[in-house]
Amino acid sequence: MTFRRKFIAAAALATVAFAAPLAAQAQIVLKAADVHPTGYPTVAATENLGKKFETATNGKYKMQMFPNSVLGDEKTMIEQTQIGAINILRTSLGPVGAVVPEVNVFNMPFVFRNEAHMRAVIDGPIGQEIIDKVNASPARLVALAWMDGGARSLYTKKPVRTLADLKGQKVRMMGNPLFVDTMNALGGNGIAMGYGEVFTALQTGVIDGAENNPPSMFTSNHYTAGAKYYAQTNHLIIPELLVMSKVTWDKLTPAEQTLMKKFGREAQMEQRVLWDKSVTEYTAKLKAAGVEFIQVDQKPFYDATAPVRAKYGAAFTDLMTRIAAVK
């Protein structure tokens, strides 16, 4: 081989050797989504998970966050996650119940005594059992962690001080028959509706109110659309899920899967701290904006929803007994 040919061959090999690491280093972008805005506790915790994963994988992966419902409502985003169009999603359990019925045990009214009770349950064996059921289901979702959605209460244009005050009021509920039945059992008129539609529906009178936690009420500006009364019924205390598309999960190496689970658990605990802080801050902001917080006797609300627990809890009798026993 001539010197020239040897030189060309060596240069070619060097080019290949140099190009291979570059190709290996090409970043894989993970698309993450949430209905909540930038800065919201679930969004912040998920973004931090992405940063940790990027660092731990030496830049192989980078997370791109799509907050504020830019990719659709939760039902739509779950469907996108199932096919791998969205890689990571923070979602309420309501729409998950439609594809993984086992999670509905957490969706029932007053299944938890308070938020501390809910956290004790999801941090323990029962929480892991439900995660395992999600992962074993045909829903093509991999549950990474629980997140805190707080206690949901009623916010309406007319004050609700007793159960009778709710009669006939049209109240937005998450898109799950269980929730619609819950509102109907309370005497209201439950309206299934996507989260992004609530503001306009309040403004135009399509609905008289909704139910959610103080951070959601404030960041969605629902209090500016006429909902000036917040009745603290705490009728639903529902944890939320951070899930990954099974399509994406299966492409991770075992080591990367281990990292994702680890950072998911860290995100769960980080979000909880952010959540508690945000509830305090947003409650104060709502009060400053003129929202009246009403303490109600919860027992009539609990009693009125007994038929809902009987109907939807029939398959979870033993599990509900175990939940009640958690201290």
Do 11 and 110 belong to one domain?
yes
Do 156 and 24 belong to one domain?
no
User: Looking at residues 284-292, what average pLDDT do you find?
Assistant: 98
pLDDT at 25: 61
Do 51 and 186 belong to one domain?
no
- Stated pTM of the model: 0.85
User: Looking at residues 249-270, what average pLDDT do you find?
Assistant: 97
Q: Is the pLDDT confidence value at 258 over 80?
A: yes
What is the Cα–Cα distance from 35 to 140, expressed in whole angstroms?
20
pLDDT at 94: 84
What is the Cα–Cα distance from 245 to 290, expressed in whole angstroms?
42
List, in sequence order, every beta strand (DSSP E) within the chain: 28-33, 61-66, 88-92, 141-147, 151-156, 170-173, 189-192, 209-212, 229-237, 240-245, 292-295
Residue range 226-235, pLDDT digits in tens? 999 999 999 9
CA atoms within 13 A on the CB side of 13: 6
Do 96 and 137 belong to one domain?
yes
Do 199 and 312 belong to one domain?
yes
Q: Which domain holds residue 72?
A: 3-149+239-282
Residue range 44-81, pLDDT digits in tens? 999 999 999 999 999 999 999 999 999 999 999 999 99
What is the Cα–Cα distance from 314 to 104, expressed in whole angstroms?
11
What is the Cα–Cα distance from 146 to 268, expressed in whole angstroms?
6
What is the Cα–Cα distance from 29 to 125, expressed in whole angstroms?
33
* 290 φ/ψ sector (left φ>0, alpha ψ -120 to 50, else beta): left
Do 193 and 120 belong to one domain?
no
Residue 104 sits in a domain of what CATH number?
3.40.190.170
Do 88 and 157 belong to one domain?
no
For residue 95, name the pLDDT band (cuts at 50, 70, 90).
Answer: confident
The SS3 of residue 232 is strand
Do 259 and 173 belong to one domain?
no
Q: Give the pair of three-digit tokens for residue 199.
A: 């503001």
Do 49 and 106 belong to one domain?
yes
Pairing of strands 88-92, 28-33: parallel
Number of domains in the chain: 2
User: Looking at residues 161-166, what average pLDDT do you find?
Assistant: 97
Do 167 and 43 belong to one domain?
no
DSSP code per residue over 18-62: HHHHHHHTPPEEEEEE-SSPTTSHHHHHHHHHHHHHHHHTTTSEE
Do 200 and 243 belong to one domain?
no
Do 49 and 177 belong to one domain?
no
Q: What angle, rounded to 10 degrees, do the helices at 254-288 and 41-56 form?
A: 150
